[in-house]
A and B are shown apart, each in its own frame.
Chain A
Amino acid sequence: MELLGIANYLVLFLTIAGVYALLTLGLNVQWGYTGILNIGVAAFFAVGAYTSALLTAPATAQPPGPGLPVAVGMLAAMPVAGILALGIGLITLNLRSDYLAIASIGIAEIVRLFLKNEEWLTNGVRGMAGIPRPFAGVDIAGWSAGGALYLALTIAVIGVVFAALQILYRAPWGRALRAIRDREVAAEAMGKNVLWFRLQSFVLGSAVMGLAGAVHVHYAGFIGPEAIDPLFATFIVWVMLIAGGSGSNLGAIVGALAIWAVWSVTELLGQIPEEPITGFGALRVFLIGLLLQVILLLRPQGIVPEPRE
């Protein structure tokens, strides 16, 4: 029984870490490849989650939806998040990167307010419940294997995304982005349309973040506007990428696993005393920040540094 509990916890842990791995991979395309400072990761995550939720919610859900297959929802989450990024990018990508960062914070807030206030669409603060969870209730020899099967799906999705991004990193496309990151002016003088490349990178990264949202929502079965929490959906993703190794896709995945592991362990620690420690949440954030400092001191390029040919 004990063993089963650990296995279930591990499945839960890995699934959430997998969602974070996707978010971190998306951010790596933007920041790691191109140097685009996106502080609004949460917005693209939420848009992906809501898109898939709206499309796949059955007639019995709250609010009711058309009940399309989960695969359709997940595939649609990417272009919808991508189109949002396209709109934002067209306005902001010619801004200096610090201005873009500020703009992206504002946009995340607008998206959050939209999802919270447009009740007709999103059910407002109550959020959307009853979103289909694939494999839920699947039973293998008395063990409810739904979670494990969904984890397998998550890993498969990560595998495909990783492979696709890895190809792009090595291709001339990735080379042009890295050149832009290093010396924008020289890349422009060498004939690269810097704005166009930055736009592509921003849209592609955001599409992956949208996919992360969809993967999350079909695991949780629920999504509410509090999903756009700058701490959970933006800050931690940045820590994961920097710790794992900005520029490296493998680093993005390793960073997501490592930081989520630390985060989960500190949560367990917080449950040990009878009385909950006040301010423990802030302490955890501090610990994560400290851990990041230590990693960067020991390995300035992150745990898995960006590969150099």
Chain B
Amino acid sequence: MNSALSVRSISKSFGGLRAVRECSLEIAEGAVTGLIGPNGAGKTTLFNIICGLFRPDSGNVHLRGRDVTGQPAHRLFHRGVVRTFQIPHEFAGMTVLENLMLVPAGQSGENVFRAWFQRPRVRREEHAIVKRAHEVLDVLQLGRLSGELAGNLSGGQKKLLELGRAMMSEARVVLLDEPAAGVNRTLMKTLNAAIRRLNRECNYTFCIVEHDMNFVRRMCNPVVVMAEGATLVQGTMDEIMADQRVLDAYLGGRRD
């Protein structure tokens, strides 16, 4: 199987703290890869490196065979990688609708001169974007909050908004950082269905960090375990659960 993303011995330190150490990982095209590991294993840091927010100290990131190490995040977005944040990064002073409308790439109204002189075109695009944003909000059951300032949403609603932004993009490689945390179960089922559908019907590639093992078992194959900044094992959920090293990592993580 081809790799959508391939992480090759990435390292990243913060001061003296080695958050990611010689970490390698393949995210297969068209798969839903789970990334689990104890708190502080370096999962979020790895996401930040992959999507271009952090520059690694060493190692490479390849997107469909192309070296994208150190490229700025906005360029990776346009190359088709989108991510959600574990701690919601909503645009607090903008409405829920605006949070979503911001996302689509290639809006002509982002150009000063087009905004001034091609207003009908900008307006047409805006109509289409509003429509799409409302569709996404309906899926997320946030429709009645569309005019609310995003800063006023609850924690779980902000997580949904994170997902919504990813859904507004056209990126085919989607990195989700703990999408289920704080989201109610019924809604999570809807979201799981949406993720499956995007994966099966539209061939989206997902990599999902999640602590909820039931979620991971249901949604992800393969599952990769990270501990202390490096990948430990990779396999199906059952294989991983049977692996003594994984148990040690989690128990060890809990002990200190």
Contact = CB atoms under 8 A, between A and B. Distances in A.
Interface of A: 164, 167-168, 171-173, 175-176, 178-179, 181-183, 185-194, 200, 204, 306, 308-309
B77 A190 contact: yes
A173 B73 contact: no
Given A171-B122, A186-B85, A306-B93, 20 more contacts: A167-B115, A171-B109, A172-B110, A172-B125, A178-B93, A179-B102, A182-B92, A182-B94, A183-B91, A183-B92, A186-B90, A188-B72, A189-B89, A190-B74, A190-B77, A190-B82, A190-B103, A191-B105, A308-B95, A309-B95
B36 to A, nearest CB: 22
A191 B169 contact: yes
Among A193, A200, A306: residue with most chain B CB under 10 A: A193
B122 A172 contact: yes
Nearest to B147: A309
B74 A191 contact: yes
B97 A309 contact: yes
Contacts of A185: 53, 73, 89
A49 to B, nearest CB: 24
17 contacts: A168-B112, A171-B109, A172-B101, A175-B101, A179-B99, A182-B91, A183-B91, A185-B73, A186-B90, A186-B165, A188-B53, A188-B72, A189-B53, A190-B74, A191-B103, A191-B169, A308-B149
Contact of B112 (A178, A191, A204): A204
B21 interface: no
A178 B94 contact: yes
Contacts of B97: 309
Interface in B53-83: 53, 72-74, 77-78, 82-83
Nearest to B83: A189
B119 A167 contact: yes
Interface in B99-122: 99, 101-103, 105, 107-112, 115-116, 119, 122
A200 B108 CA distance: 15
Given A168-B116, A175-B98, A309-B98, A190 B165 contact: yes
B115 A171 contact: yes
Of all A-B residue pairs in the complex, the 5 with the closest CB atoms, nearest first, are: A191-B77, A172-B109, A171-B115, A186-B89, A182-B91
Nearest to A175: B102
B169 A172 contact: no
B109 A189 contact: no
A183 B90 contact: yes
B12 to A, nearest CB: 16
Nearest to A182: B91
A218 to B, nearest CB: 25
B141 to A, nearest CB: 21
B29 interface: no
Contacts of A186: 85, 89-91, 165
B51 interface: yes
Nearest to A189: B73
A181 B116 CA distance: 22
B51 A189 contact: yes
Among B82, B101, B110: residue with most chain A CB under 10 A: B110
A29 to B, nearest CB: 11
Contacts of A187: 91, 102
